[in-house]
């Protein structure tokens, strides 16, 4: 404060901003965390966490079986929700009709720090809908729309039907938006999918994966993009069996493995 020569007026304005952020935050929206994201605070903490995880991983002997698996973490963001029910592998997290939406079959294997497949890992996944909004922002849509939880099988595999996400602006109707305006920055994020993967014998792993063809990869509003997290969606295989009950057709496939960090 001394170095920045903060005035009483500026301190009170900052306190008012924090109070305002608290008033609009609830179990569906974390405005305080969103404010920190605009400064890059959460991404910086993620970098420090990754360094600690890397030190733990170096102590774990790897079999090399997890080659190509993503091990880079990313921020959790303000729209994670607890209490999402588990569902069978291969089922859809799209719970509201989305005409002409890009349905995607996402699947892969979860590996441990030693490179061995991890059975019984819990995979939380969530992303925005084609309108660029999360379920927390659209109470008129069914609960947990574009959000699901899956458990890996004996071979560490899991699968889900999702939508290929779209770029979107972070909510800028309150304090986080005011911060961006003061810094003359845009609020946009590149298209991405969130994952939080848990296993009792490993450190929990939070990450995001970004569409390689998305806008804003170079100027993400919350500084979360890492080169290792940019992935390509491929046209769905002709051998894929379309699930029953979908309002559309699966047209994309995303095969991606993940490697969890060793326990601390």
Residues 6+ apart with CB under 8 A from 44: none
Q: How far is the C-alpha of 92 from the C-alpha of 23, rounded, in Å?
A: 34
State residue 59's pLDDT score.
58
Q: Which helix (H) or strand (E) holds 71?
A: none
| Residues 29, 79 contacting (CB under 8 angstroms) | yes
Query: Residue 248 falls within a domain, yes or no?
Result: yes
| Segments of the chain scoring below 50 in pLDDT | none
Q: What's the structural domain count of the chain?
A: 1
Q: How far is the C-alpha of 258 from the C-alpha of 85, rounded, in Å?
A: 22
* pLDDT per position as a tens digit, 97-118: 998 899 999 999 999 999 999 9
pTM over 0.85: yes
State residue 109's pLDDT score.
98
State residue 57's pLDDT score.
65
| Residues 73, 204 contacting (CB under 8 angstroms) | no
Helix, coil or strand: residue 152: coil
Query: Residue 188 falls within a domain, yes or no?
Result: yes
Domain of residue 27 covers 8-259
State residue 89's pLDDT score.
98
| Residues 205, 73 contacting (CB under 8 angstroms) | yes
State residue 11's pLDDT score.
87
Query: Residue 2 falls within a domain, yes or no?
Result: no
State residue 63's pLDDT score.
55
Strand partners, 104: 162, 252
State residue 51's pLDDT score.
81
Query: Residue 264 falls within a domain, yes or no?
Result: no
Query: Residue 3 falls within a domain, yes or no?
Result: no
Query: Residue 48 falls within a domain, yes or no?
Result: yes
What is the CATH number for 222?
A: 2.60.130.10
State residue 21's pLDDT score.
86
Query: Residue 1 falls within a domain, yes or no?
Result: no
Residue owning tokens 């991606």: 256
């Amino acid at each position: 404060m001394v170095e920045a020569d903060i005035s009483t007026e500026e301190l009170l304005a900052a306190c008012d901003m924090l109070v305002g952020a608290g008033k609009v935050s609830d179990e569906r929206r974390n405005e305080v965390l969103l404010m920190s994201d605009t400064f890059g605070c959460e991404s910086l903490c993620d970098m420090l966490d990754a360094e600690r995880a890397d030190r733990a991983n170096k102590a774990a002997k790897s079999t090399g079986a997890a080659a190509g698996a993503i091990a880079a973490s990313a921020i959790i963001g303000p729209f994670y929700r607890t209490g999402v029910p588990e569902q069978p592998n291969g089922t859809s997290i799209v719970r509201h009709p989305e005409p002409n939406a890009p349905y995607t079959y996402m699947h892969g294997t979860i590996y441990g720090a030693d490179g061995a497949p991890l059975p019984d890992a819990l995979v939380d996944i969530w992303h925005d809908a084609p309108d660029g909004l999360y379920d927390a922002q659209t109470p008129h849509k069914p609960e947990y729309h574009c959000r699901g939880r899956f458990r890996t099988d004996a071979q560490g595999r899991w699968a889900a039907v999702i939508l290929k996400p779209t770029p979107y602006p972070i909510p800028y109707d309150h304090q986080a938006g005011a911060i961006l305006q003061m810094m003359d920055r845009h609020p946009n994020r590149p298209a991405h999918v969130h994952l939080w993967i848990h296993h009792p014998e490993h450190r929990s792993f939070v990450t995001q994966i970004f569409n390689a063809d998305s806008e804003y990869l170079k100027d993400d509003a919350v500084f979360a993009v890492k080169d290792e997290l940019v992935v390509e969606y491929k046209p769905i295989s002709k051998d894929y069996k379309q699930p029953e009950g979908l309002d559309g057709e699966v047209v994309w496939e995303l095969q991606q493995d993940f490697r969890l960090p060793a326990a601390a």
